């Protein structure tokens, strides 16, 4: 690496990020198996190979080891031993501040064993805000007495009053293909009756999923979608954001945020150009791509207008992931924009402005944080 | 940028292009809103953000500003003010010759407010040829008296007599998936009757669309398809060229040209390898990719044989786009081929020959210009 | 090219590969047309343009010419003349050892005019092992007397006793979409009866194809799938490996190897992360990408854990292809890993270890060679 003392390099190093989609860090200590499995997103079985033998594993050793006082590229065994000596809270107090994130937007819909917004704020020394998962609201409404639709609406508005946005995991509940129009009240009532009779857990009913999306649209706060890369419970090809076209055509002004997006980041960028209210990020993917993250970040900068690209880590579990997202993003955006400037395609001041847009200004605008 | 005084660099700078797919420049002055909206292809709504905040917007400021006597990367406001001082015709007289294009192949099927072949020739000081849009021929046939099929055939042959090829926007009329075989005469007559009864505008009837394609095949002149990237009226995933496989299997010797292709350029390159009569270009996409155009141009050079790759700008409206396509293509092909030569994979003389094939020889051969 | 005297460069130059998927070299001399057609994979018609005008053609001239004592980038005519002077066996005795492959895994299911494992071993001076094509086993079972399922099982076990794995060309027999569950014995008996009545050639019956796959799963030896890029007899979009998701969810521990993968290499890498038993390679594609192979090899190193990536050439016919796969892979992996190390993302010793995994250790482990 050639040291870069430019204003652009300095700015990228220093800018405080808004991490617009993350989950909580682990609360309690666990064994090595838990940690290594947390280095693999897609596999839902226990790993048979080491989770370190991957781009993410190498990136942890390259970028996280120095935060723990270890040399870059330290061996997995030594990394694990140091990590084990520290509690999860202590790890979070090291990694979260090192990410230089001013605001964490936390999807609280999963992980009883992970931190909520209070711990994330305390450990990082910065602000944390809630993002409400729609499928969790649905399950709460199914468990509530009385009319499902009214219960959903009441819970959504109550929770959203202190939240900055909503999130859908439709990708994990049948995918994006098929009708996503708003169902009628009668359809919702019938579907809710059936679902409650079946126990009201793990919502997969398309009518109720569609109902939740349209209620979130009316709420007007940004609506995040898990898109593309995730675990194999989802059919990846059904999480292609192009299947959202009809839904987006009727989505009005509510910001729609496409998360992760790999390997559909070019399709997502197209949608961000095609609709005034569509945004995208590359969270989760950047961590898993490690040394290949710059190539991915470059593709995020293709069709999407620069006011529609956001930063997130999608960190979940090990606090390394909340830090690593920031470290790899800073590295990658530097490499890509340095190239654009060196080739004479962008001015350096333009590059600095785009860094600010992606790092925090776009998120601050739509989430009002 | 390291200056490159090589024969390859010189050749790329100097070669006169055939722009094998473009539309006309604007004829009359317009406001800033019109101009900024013309910097976004996919969105059909008025923009809420500046059209300049995109790769295309940055590329206009980098490459077009100097043509207007402004510094590179000039601020949008200053660019707009200079542009407004010049009429569209004057802009065209600056930008079109600067593209160094010997022949413009103009799709005349849209844009009553844009230049025809005569103005394009006059403003550029070079030649312009017509490409006939099949869906426009269909609408003309619907409005003509008597048998639809005969009218279509008569209009197609009359117009094609002075044209170099045909063009289909099937991607905007339901996409490529589904049956694309030739319909029977009876099917055509029935479908035409229904369509005429409905007013005979904006053809979406699949029977008549298929009929037009097969008539164009018989004509034998190159048949262009809009593929992939365009505005959101089309479902992008239905414009994947792989859905054309069955049609291509029955397309005989007529050259089939896949236009734009983003994000399906690798699929299009595969088809160019798979069929002796299939060609591709990256027009439109190159402009919208700006600083990322070299990565895209490199992917166009994967599976496609070198005698099947063409150049176009797909410029439409602002004369900047007709120039920018050429400027970005020259930059991009230089970067990519310079790399191949420096790495010892290609000889410089091979690189120069491939530049000629893509820049003009392949197009000259199939369009006979 | 900057010479690289590093330990990494040296190791990549010297490591002996396991070519985990190839076919035989030609046995008898042929004309120039045969040779040039062998430089195009996708087209099933005789070429009308020179097969040399492609990345593969340029790569043959760059990398294979010196093996024949010719200068790099020699003209096609001179290359052909030298090639013609040598018999196919003599060419194989030059190119196969130059690949530095210790073990060839040979799919013997096509090509009566190509070498078997004995010739491949003799000409290379190394080992060759058989991979059994399931659709060929099916055709042998159709021709055998008695119960189809028993005959299939008997032939599969007899042939597999000396083979290292199996291979499916389901991609060419209707593609991956649709039901791939195990059929019942009664369904198999009925389908086999119909197929035998129809002549028992070129298996396309989905029931029997599914039967073969599940028998191969039970065998437990690695099962290879042709994925993505190939000739146009297959519908490329039906060879997207994501359509295998349901099959993989029921595939147990048997290693599943996704071959070629272009343009779905990122989807294949995802599957390798998602399932403990999924592997991928980029054979065939690397040859056809030539100067663009490094970009493809880099994408193979995204989501796939490093213990799930394999090397192959998929050479078939001209012995150049068996050598070129190795030459381009060494070049490409060097470029990519050199970059990771130079950017500080990987240590050099990690890079060397990953080279060994991909070059041979992963294949040695799953094929037990």
Q: Model confidence over C195-249: pLDDT tens digits?
A: 999 999 999 999 999 999 999 999 999 999 999 999 999 999 999 999 999 999 9
Please give the pLDDT value at position A1. 53
Mutation target to probe the B interface, by most B beta carbons within 10 A, among A176, A263, A274, A347 is A274
- Going by the DSSP 8-state scheme, the letter that residue C26 receives in this structure is B
Helix axes A88-98, A319-342, angle to 10 degrees: 20
pLDDT band at B4 (very low <50, low <70, confident <90, very high): confident
Test B306 with C62 for CB contact under 8 angstroms.
Answer: no
Which residues in chain A are closer than 8 Å to C343, comparing Cβ atoms? Answer: 1, 291, 335
Which residues in chain B are closer than 8 Å to A299, comparing Cβ atoms? Answer: 292, 295
pLDDT band at B2 (very low <50, low <70, confident <90, very high): low
Please give the pLDDT value at position C2. 59
Beta bridge partners, B256, equal B223, B278
Average pLDDT of the residues in C53-59: 98
Which residues in chain C are closer than 8 Å to A49, comparing Cβ atoms? Answer: 276, 305, 307-308
Gap between the Cα atoms of A140 and A138, Å rounded: 5
Whether residue A112 has pLDDT greater than 90: no
CA C31 to chain centre: 25
Which residues in chain A are closer than 8 Å to B43, comparing Cβ atoms? Answer: 273-276
In this predicted structure, which of A294-298, C106-110, C134-138, C279-283 has the lowest mean pLDDT?
Answer: C106-110
Please list, in sequence order, all residues whose beta carbon lies within 8 angstroms of the beta carbon of residue A268, skipping any fewer than 6 positions away. Answer: A227, A228, A241, A258, A261, A280, A304
Would you state the structure tokens that stand for residue A202, as one six-digit string?
């793990």
At C122, is the secondary structure helix, strand, or coil?
Answer: helix
Average pLDDT of the residues in B74-89: 97
Average pLDDT of the residues in A113-129: 97
Please give the pLDDT value at position B111. 76
Closest Cα in chain A, distance from residue B301 (Å):
18
**CA dihedral (C90, C93, C94, C95) positive or negative:** positive
Concatenated DSSP letters for A169-209?
-GGGTT-S-S--SPPPHHHHHHHHHHHHHTTS-S---HHHH
Q: Are B243 and C237 in contact (CB under 8 A)?
A: yes
Please list, in sequence order, all residues whose beta carbon lies within 8 angstroms of the beta carbon of residue B109, skipping any fewer than 6 positions away. Answer: B132, B133, B135, B136, B167, B169
Which of C267, C308, C345 minimises the CB distance to A62?
A: C345
Would you state the structure tokens that stand for residue B83, as one six-digit string?
């542009």
Q: Are B63 and B328 in contact (CB under 8 A)?
A: yes
Q: What is the dihedral of CA A52, A53, A57, A62, to 10 degrees?
A: 110
Give CA separation, A253 vs A222, A275, B49, B323, C53, in Å.
10, 9, 13, 35, 50
pLDDT band at A4 (very low <50, low <70, confident <90, very high): confident
Phi, psi for A135 (deg, rounded to 5): -70, -25
Share of chain C above pLDDT 90, in %: 98
Q: Are B259 and B283 in contact (CB under 8 A)?
A: yes
pLDDT band at C33 (very low <50, low <70, confident <90, very high): very high
A226-258 core/surface letters (b: 16 or more CB in 10 A; e: else): bbbbbebebbbbbbbbbbbbebbeebeebbbbb
Helix (H) or strand (E) holding B14: helix B7-14
pLDDT band at B1 (very low <50, low <70, confident <90, very high): low
**Radius of gyration of the CA atoms of chain C, in A:** 20
Would you state the structure tokens that stand for residue A44, as one six-digit string?
């839902």
Test A235 with C249 for CB contact under 8 angstroms.
Answer: no
Whether residue A352 has pLDDT greater than 60: yes
Gap between the Cα atoms of A25 and B144, Å rounded: 70
Please list, in sequence order, all residues whose beta carbon lies within 8 angstroms of the beta carbon of residue B173, skipping any fewer than 6 positions away. Answer: B135, B203, B204, B209
Half-sphere exposure of C113 (CA within 13 A, CB side): 9
Mutation target to probe the C interface, by most C beta carbons within 10 A, among B251, B274, B351 is B274
Gap between the Cα atoms of C195 and C203, Å rounded: 8
Share of chain B above pLDDT 70, in %: 99
Average pLDDT of the residues in C7-34: 97
Average pLDDT of the residues in C333-344: 98
Closest Cα in chain C, distance from residue A218 (Å):
34
Please give the pLDDT value at position C267. 98
Gap between the Cα atoms of C318 and C214, Å rounded: 34
Which of B240, B301, B342 minimises the CB distance to C292?
A: B301
Test C49 with B307 for CB contact under 8 angstroms.
Answer: yes
- Return the number of other C-beta atoms located less than 10 Å from residue C158's C-beta: 13
Average pLDDT of the residues in C147-174: 98
- Is-cis flag, bond preceding C263, omega within 30? yes
Q: Are C334 and C9 in contact (CB under 8 A)?
A: yes
Q: Are C217 and C251 in contact (CB under 8 A)?
A: yes
Residue in chain A nearest B74 by alpha carbon: A347
Gap between the Cα atoms of B172 and C145, Å rounded: 55
- Return the number of other C-beta atoms located less than 10 Å from residue C231's C-beta: 14
Which of B270, B345, B346 minimises the CB distance to C236?
A: B270
Gap between the Cα atoms of C257 and C239, Å rounded: 14
Which residues in chain A are closer than 8 Å to B1, comparing Cβ atoms? Answer: 342-344
pLDDT in tens, A300-317: 999 999 999 999 999 999
Helix (H) or strand (E) holding B239: none
Gap between the Cα atoms of A276 and A274, Å rounded: 7
Please give the pLDDT value at position B3. 76
Pick from C224, C314, C211: which is nearest to C278 by CA?
Answer: C224
- Return the number of other C-beta atoms located less than 10 Å from residue C346's C-beta: 27
Pairs of CB atoms within 8 A across A/B: 89
Which of A231, A235, A292 minimises the CB distance to C302?
A: A292
Please give the pLDDT value at position C112. 81
Which positions in chain C have a beta carbon within 8 angstroms of at least one beta carbon in chain B? 1, 40-45, 47-49, 53-55, 58-59, 62, 72-73, 229, 231-232, 235-237, 262-263, 288-292, 295, 335
Which residues in chain A are closer than 8 Å to C263, comparing Cβ atoms? Answer: none
At A42, is the secondary structure helix, strand, or coil?
Answer: coil
pLDDT band at C110 (very low <50, low <70, confident <90, very high): confident
């Amino acid at each position: 690496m050639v040291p870069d003392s430019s204003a652009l390099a300095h700015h990228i190093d220093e800018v405080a990020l808004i991490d617009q989609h993350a989950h909580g860090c682990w609360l309690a200590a666990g064994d090595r198996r838990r940690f290594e499995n947390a280095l693999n997103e897609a596999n839902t079985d226990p790993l048979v190979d080491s989770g370190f033998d991957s781009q993410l594993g190498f990136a942890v050793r390259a970028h996280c080891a120095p935060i723990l006082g270890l040399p870059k590229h330290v061996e997995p065994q030594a990394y694990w031993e140091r990590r084990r000596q520290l509690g999860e809270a202590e790890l979070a107090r090291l990694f979260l501040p090192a990410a230089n994130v001013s605001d964490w937007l936390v999807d609280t819909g999963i992980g009883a064993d992970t931190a909520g917004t209070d711990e994330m704020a305390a450990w990082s020394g910065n602000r944390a805000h809630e993002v409400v998962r729609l499928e969790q609201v649905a399950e709460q409404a199914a468990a509530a007495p009385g009319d499902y639709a009214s219960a959903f609406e009441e819970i959504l508005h109550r929770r959203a009053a202190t939240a900055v946005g909503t999130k859908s995991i439709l990708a994990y509940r049948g995918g994006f293909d098929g009708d996503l129009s708003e169902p009628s009240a009668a359809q919702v009532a019938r579907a809710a009756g059936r679902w409650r009779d079946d126990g009201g857990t793990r919502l997969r009913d398309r009518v109720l999923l569609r109902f939740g999306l349209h209620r979130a649209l009316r709420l007007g706060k940004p609506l995040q979608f898990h898109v593309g890369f995730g675990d194999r419970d989802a059919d990846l090809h059904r999480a292609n954001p192009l299947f959202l076209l009809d839904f987006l055509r009727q989505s009005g002004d509510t910001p729609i945020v496409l998360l992760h997006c790999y390997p559909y980041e070019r399709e997502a960028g197209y949608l961000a150009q095609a609709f005034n209210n569509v945004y995208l990020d590359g969270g989760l993917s950047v961590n898993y791509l490690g040394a290949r993250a710059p190539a991915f970040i470059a593709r995020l900068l293709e069709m999407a207008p620069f006011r529609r690209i956001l930063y997130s880590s999608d960190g979940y579990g090990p606090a390394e992931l909340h830090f690593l997202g920031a470290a790899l993003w800073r590295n990658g955006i530097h490499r890509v924009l340095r190239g654009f400037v060196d080739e004479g395609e962008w001015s350096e001041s333009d590059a600095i402005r785009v860094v600010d847009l992606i790092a925090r200004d776009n998120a601050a605008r739509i989430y009002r944080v």
